[in-house]
A and B are shown apart, each in its own frame.
Chain A
Amino acid sequence: MFEPTAFDLSAIGTGVVNGLVLGSLYALASLGLALIFGVLDIINFAHGDILMISSYIVYLVALSTGNPWIALLSSLALFALFGAGVYRGIIHYVLGKEPLIQIAITVGLGLILQNLALALFRAEPRALPSTLFPYPLSIGPLTLSANRVFVALVSIILCILVHYYSTRTKLGLASRAVAENREAAWLMGINVPLIYMATFTIGVLLTTTAAFLWMQIGPVDPYLGTIFGLLCWIIVALGGLGGVAGIIASGFIIGVLDSLGSIFLTPSGKYIPMYIAFILTIWFKPRGLFGRR
């Protein structure tokens, strides 16, 4: 069952560090979901597929222009429109409805995105031919690609910025007030529909940024969304809705479990540890490991 490969400490160390890199990206990808779930109370099963489709957009623009930064900016602009459009066209109608209806409608959206990608781009995985920082970086005994370090740093910085957004800015505070009590926020003069649309769009934009970073380290195929969707929900479950710190910590946990799982259990069994961790968390700590709500 276990691969009889030679383990040494540096393999485990590299696994852990890679897991932390992956985990910071997972945390960034989950933040959008946590924002949308926390403020709009919408169960979004299309989250992973939004990430998948924006990865394709990043890939296509980067490939045709040859400049990844243009790809980032243009996909951010495109997905700001996409987020607002999806909110107004679909999500708006299921606000406050039963969870089952919300799940059904977002599963429908996810199916459409996934199969649109399948129809347009077929099932082959696609990766960018060149990355931003194509050279190795040695830190003590560990060797990492500079790309991964970049991805991890940007993810963490963005997570911290989101923390400042939600605790310091007017819009962030207003959205937290709406999350706390919608009617009271209305009465205090907060434009609730606007907050909803803005929060949904910000969530989608965070996801687009995560997609851009993902394209620097991995390939995209139409089924990427299924994997990411479940992963992001698991991270939100572990992190709870208490704040950004919980999401980052549970992102790290899941990233390390993912990375070590594929070393110790072979890639065919790598999902077992993290999914078991998820189910045990749901059973024993339903508010998440770090959650307050």
Chain B
Amino acid sequence: MLRSLRRRGLYLRLIGLIVLLAAMYIAFMTNKYYLLFITNLVFFAAIVLAWNIIGGYAGQLDLGTTGYMGVGAIVSSILSNNIGLHPLISIILGGLSSALLAGAIGFPMFRFGVREVWYALSTAAIVVILNNAVRLLIGPYEYYLRVRPIKTYDELYLATSIALVLVFLLNHAVNNSRLGYYLKAIREDELAAEAIGVDTRRYKLLALMIYAFIVGSLGYLYVVMIGYFYTYRFFDTGISVSIAILGIIGGLGSIEGCLVSAFLLRGVGEYLRTSLAHIIPGLHLLLYGAVLITLGVVEPEGIPGIARRFTTLLKTTKRPMGVVK
């Protein structure tokens, strides 16, 4: 797997990402508000990249992101807060618990062949069930963390950036591995993949659990980012849907596309939300909706499709007249 990682100019892309993250930090480090703003962007870019594993490569429209994130957040918060475990250990245990939950849900789901719209709806339903169940279990309150491993916005930005780089590397590892090829085969044609001997259930489940683990362990970071408290309100179908939207617009299975859509679309959206919400609430979601409809009609492949059109346009204009192909 490591050898395949070195292919395709991975180092170049990795350096590019790190330079981008560093440049964003340098540009905004003097203003605490904008620093938190870009931390939010980096965090959601990592979530969208995690979604890319189940939604992009495996093609399963998962709307359960906040369910797994919330379980990881609440488990790791309770472990570090009430039992006093080291935050890093509780983050990993939080991730493991949401991976276990994903396994427990995903196993029957894939066993009974739930797919397409029914998969999307059942994952959305699971978020609602978790929301209600957690509200009954821990009550309608916000619980604050006593243990605070991250004290400044700069540290938070660093931690989030490290998380994004790790998820980025994991995405490349999946993309170039046997698992990645299997998942893409499942996405293109599940029956055909099964016919040539891919154990579709097993690999879909594996992808689901990897994604749930990443999202669950990012949950603790989310708790820190929104101000050190955890609550049942983490389980929000609206946020799950917007993650899936960013992943779809980014193009299924395209790592760069996901990063572009997360940074650009969510960046513009969050800017609109924070600057104009008092005049026109919900403007950022109007933007998402408009982009989704336009892309769906014009370019269903998302950002990679647009990029390809653009490059072919450039190439064809450079070509001398009268030469075909």
Query: Binary interface profile of B, 260-289, with partner A (CB < 8 Å = 1, else 0)?
Result: 000000000000000000001111011011
Do the beta carbons of A272 and B126 come within 8 Å of each other? no
B226 interface residue (CB < 8 Å to A): no
A292 interface residue (CB < 8 Å to B): no
B129 interface residue (CB < 8 Å to A): yes
Cβ of A92 to closest chain B Cβ, rounded Å: 9
| Chain B residue, CB-CB nearest to A108 | B292
Main secondary structure of the interface of B (DSSP, over half): helix
B238 interface residue (CB < 8 Å to A): yes
Do the beta carbons of B280 and A279 come within 8 Å of each other? no
Bound Cα distance A147, B136 (Å): 33
B84 interface residue (CB < 8 Å to A): no
Query: Binary interface profile of A, 104-123, with partner B (CB < 8 Å = 1, else 0)?
Result: 11011111101110110011
Do the beta carbons of B128 and A1 come within 8 Å of each other? no
Bound Cα distance A43, B63 (Å): 15
Do the beta carbons of A112 and B296 come within 8 Å of each other? no
Do the beta carbons of B285 and A271 come within 8 Å of each other? no
Bound Cα distance A11, B289 (Å): 43
Residues of A within 8 A of B117 (CB): 43, 99, 103, 233
B173 interface residue (CB < 8 Å to A): no
List 6 A-B pairs, minimum CB-CB distance, nearest first: A108-B292, A115-B282, A111-B289, A105-B296, A112-B289, A118-B282
A135 interface residue (CB < 8 Å to B): no
Do the beta carbons of A110 and B136 come within 8 Å of each other? no
> Of B61, B114, B285, B290, which is in contact with the most chain A CB atoms at under 10 Å from its CB?
B285
Check A114/B282 contact, CB under 8 A, given A104-B248, A269-B132: yes
A182 interface residue (CB < 8 Å to B): no
The residue from B131, B289, B300 contacting A108, defined by CB atoms under 8 A apart: B289
Do the beta carbons of B61 and A283 come within 8 Å of each other? no
Check A271/B297 contact, CB under 8 A, given A107-B292, A123-B281: no
> In chain A, residues 116-173, which have Cβ atoms closer than 8 Å to a Cβ of chain B?
116, 118-119, 122-123
A230 interface residue (CB < 8 Å to B): yes
Do the beta carbons of A97 and B300 come within 8 Å of each other? yes
Do the beta carbons of A279 and B292 come within 8 Å of each other? no
Query: Binary interface profile of A, 216-250, with partner B (CB < 8 Å = 1, else 0)?
Result: 00000010001000100110010000000000000
A194 interface residue (CB < 8 Å to B): no
Bound Cα distance A107, B108 (Å): 27
Residues of A within 8 A of B125 (CB): 230, 234, 275, 278-279
Cβ of A153 to closest chain B Cβ, rounded Å: 30
Number of A-B contacts (CB under 8 A): 134
Main secondary structure of the interface of A (DSSP, over half): helix
7 example contacts (A-B, Cβ-Cβ < 8 A) are as follows A90-B293, A99-B116, A112-B289, A115-B285, A119-B282, A233-B117, A278-B122
Bound Cα distance A103, B252 (Å): 14
Cβ of B292 to closest chain A Cβ, rounded Å: 3
Residues of B within 8 A of A111 (CB): 285-286, 288-289, 292
Do the beta carbons of A276 and B121 come within 8 Å of each other? no
A93 interface residue (CB < 8 Å to B): yes
Known pairs A108-B290, A275-B125, A279-B125; list 16 more (Cβ under 8 Å).
A90-B296, A93-B296, A99-B61, A101-B296, A101-B300, A109-B289, A111-B286, A115-B285, A119-B280, A119-B283, A226-B238, A265-B136, A268-B132, A270-B132, A278-B125, A279-B122
Residues of A within 8 A of B293 (CB): 90, 105, 108-109, 112
Bound Cα distance A210, B152 (Å): 52
| Chain A residue, CB-CB nearest to B123 | A279
Cβ of A80 to closest chain B Cβ, rounded Å: 21
Bound Cα distance A94, B293 (Å): 10
Bound Cα distance A108, B126 (Å): 22
B85 interface residue (CB < 8 Å to A): no
Do the beta carbons of A107 and B112 come within 8 Å of each other? no
> In chain B, residues 100-155, which have Cβ atoms closer than 8 Å to a Cβ of chain A?
108-109, 112-114, 116-118, 120-122, 124-126, 128-129, 131-133, 135-136, 140
Bound Cα distance A233, B125 (Å): 11
Residues of B within 8 A of A233 (CB): 117, 121
Bound Cα distance A122, B112 (Å): 42
B22 interface residue (CB < 8 Å to A): no
Residues of B within 8 A of A (CB): 59, 61, 108-109, 112-114, 116-118, 120-122, 124-126, 128-129, 131-133, 135-136, 140, 237-238, 241, 245, 248, 252, 280-283, 285-286, 288-293, 295-297, 300
Residues of B within 8 A of A226 (CB): 237-238
Residues of B within 8 A of A43 (CB): 116-117
Do the beta carbons of B286 and A119 come within 8 Å of each other? yes
A286 interface residue (CB < 8 Å to B): yes
Bound Cα distance A222, B121 (Å): 20
Do the beta carbons of A100 and B61 come within 8 Å of each other? yes
Cβ of A28 to closest chain B Cβ, rounded Å: 20
Residues of A within 8 A of B296 (CB): 90, 93-94, 101, 104-105, 108
A61 interface residue (CB < 8 Å to B): no
Bound Cα distance A1, B136 (Å): 6
A284 interface residue (CB < 8 Å to B): yes
Residues of B within 8 A of A282 (CB): 112, 114, 118, 121-122
Residues of B within 8 A of A112 (CB): 286, 289-290, 293
Do the beta carbons of A105 and B292 come within 8 Å of each other? yes
The residue from A100, A110, A234 contacting B289, defined by CB atoms under 8 A apart: A110
Cβ of A37 to closest chain B Cβ, rounded Å: 9
Check A119/B292 contact, CB under 8 A, given A234-B125, A284-B112: no
Query: Binary interface profile of A, 250-293, with partner B (CB < 8 Å = 1, else 0)?
Result: 00000000000000011011111001101100111010000000
Cβ of A170 to closest chain B Cβ, rounded Å: 30
